[in-house]
Amino acid sequence: MAHLIAISRRWAHMPAIARIGVVYVLARVVTTGLLGAAARLSGAGSRFGPDATIADFVVGWDAQWYWLVAWEGYPSMLPVTVSGQVAENAWAFMPVYAYASQTLGVPFGSWGVGAMLLSLLAGFGACVMLHRLLRGRIGESAAMWAVTFFAWGPLSAMFQVGYAESLFLLLLLVALDLVARRRYGWLYLVLPVLAFTRPGILAFALFLGLIGIWRWLRRREDGLAPAEVAHIIALGALTTITGFSWQIIAGVVTGDPGAYLATELSWRRNWGVAERGFIPVDGWVQGARFWFVQWGLPADLGVVALLLLVIGAAAALFIRPVRRLGVDLRLWSASYLIYLLAVFFPQSSTFRLLMPLTPLWGAVAVPRSRVYRVAVLLLCVIGQWLWIYPVYALGSAFWQVP
């Protein structure tokens, strides 16, 4: 018992970054083991085949598109299907992660190695930033547990494969921390990089608008200097411009003003959804109907379930553990959920696209019961396998796309 107490004290006195490092490395060891098990279970029916390796997983699925961007760039002519519709192509994938991975992989002669290293390093950086963002709000212990849940979470394999999620999360958490600390100057550098890492910057534009309104309403209790007003407005304009700039760039290069939206909508075709152009929120309505029909249930019941889901998500932002995170993180969460509701079609990638809600792990970590926290950690590991197994070991059906 005395030995355990000594270890506990030594752990408590370690610098936070060292503790985060230990947690992160142990999590990556566990995830590597799960990926290795999935490789051994991969069969002829999987897209990775019976001789799959973890290296195949690193460059699998959407990582192939990022690799293609790094080596070939973006098409000047949009590919089309036999029916004349725009086909899936590289314009759906932002350039920062692709080229950063290429640069990092140069010494190894491998884009895949560069992508894995970038994801690993960015994932660790995101853990550090999450701790920094939360410790003053929920306390050191809860912040450390939030980092643990994040590092060991159901989708933490994203920290080891060629996806842009970990880099996006690092930049996002840096940006949220800068807003919280009112260090606006650095945001002019961070936000453009964030905008070209993966879609989602328009949610940050909405967040800045809501923060500006909140600060204005509370200006007597919490002073709002003219310089802050100018920064919030300028940054809101910057995020809005960069949020639409990729569409403009794609249109200029291809000569088709609708190139980017047509590219994004081409992925919905795989789900048998009728194409009728981009209509905000329509993707969720179509998706709700689609999934309920797949499950043998009435399509209209899917719309009812969608309404209940929206109401439940909104109500969750007002429960006590979430309120402890602060108004700014709640406004970010609301902004991102509104963004997803407006633009996304719910399918197997939905869980991955929820990762920008990472600060909400703080609410999960608030309860102090050791049994509860260990149970959540165990569920995180189980969740990893429930995600890794179908995505990589099976990896063939439409519902197994990460």
Q: How far apart are the first and last CA of the chain?
A: 44
Segment 331-339 shows an average pLDDT of 98
pLDDT, mean of residues 37-41? 96
| Among the ranges given (107-121, 215-229, 308-322), the one the predictor scored with the smallest mean pLDDT | 215-229
| pLDDT of residue 3 exceeding 90 | no
Give the model's pLDDT for residue 399.
76
Tell which wins on pLDDT, 401 or 382: 382
The reported pLDDT for the residue numbered 12 is: 73
pTM score above 0.85:
yes
Between CA 135 and CA 131 the distance in angstroms is 6
* For range 224-242, the mean pLDDT: 96
Lowest pLDDT segment from 98-102, 207-211, 342-346: 342-346
* Structure confidence at residue 84 as a pLDDT band (50, 70, 90): confident
Query: Looking at residue 81, what is its pLDDT?
Result: 87
Q: Nearest-CA neighbor of 129 among 358, 363, 377, 368?
A: 358
**pLDDT score at 266:** 84
Alpha carbon 319 to chain centroid, angstroms: 23
- Residue 210 pLDDT > 90, yes or no? yes
Q: Residue 348's pLDDT is what?
A: 84
Q: What phi and psi, each to the nearest 5 degrees, are found at residue 86?
A: -65, 130
> Please, what's the b/e burial string for 338-369 (b: 16 or more CB within 10 A of its CB; e: otherwise)?
bbbbbbbbbbbeeebbebbebbbbbbbbbeee
What's the rounded Cα separation, in Å, for the pair 172 and 192? 11
Q: Indicate the DSSP class of residue 86.
A: B
- How much is the pLDDT for 1? 61
Chain length of the chain: 402
pLDDT, tens only, 282-303: 889 988 998 899 899 999 999 9
- Per-residue confidence band for 275, with pLDDT thresholds at 50, 70 and 90: low
**What are the φ/ψ torsions at residue 73 (nearest 5 degrees)?**
75, -155
**What contacts 80, CB < 8 A, 6 or more positions away?**
86, 87
pLDDT of residue 14: 85
Res. 279 pLDDT band, cuts 50 70 90: confident
User: How far is residue 389's CA from residue 396's CA, in Å, rounded to a whole number?
Assistant: 11
pLDDT surpasses 80 at 195 = yes
Instruction: Write out the two tokens for 200.
Output: 């989602």
| DSSP assignments along 91-136, one per residue | GGS-HHHHHHHHHHHGGGT-HHHHHHHHHHHHHHHHHHHHHHHHHH
Q: Which amino acid is at 299?
A: A
Distance CA 260, CA 92 (A): 7
Q: Which amino acid is at 317?
A: L
pLDDT at position 25 is: 98
- Please give the average per-residue pLDDT across 164-190, as a whole number: 97
Task: Give dist(CA 160, CA 402) in Å, integer.
Answer: 13
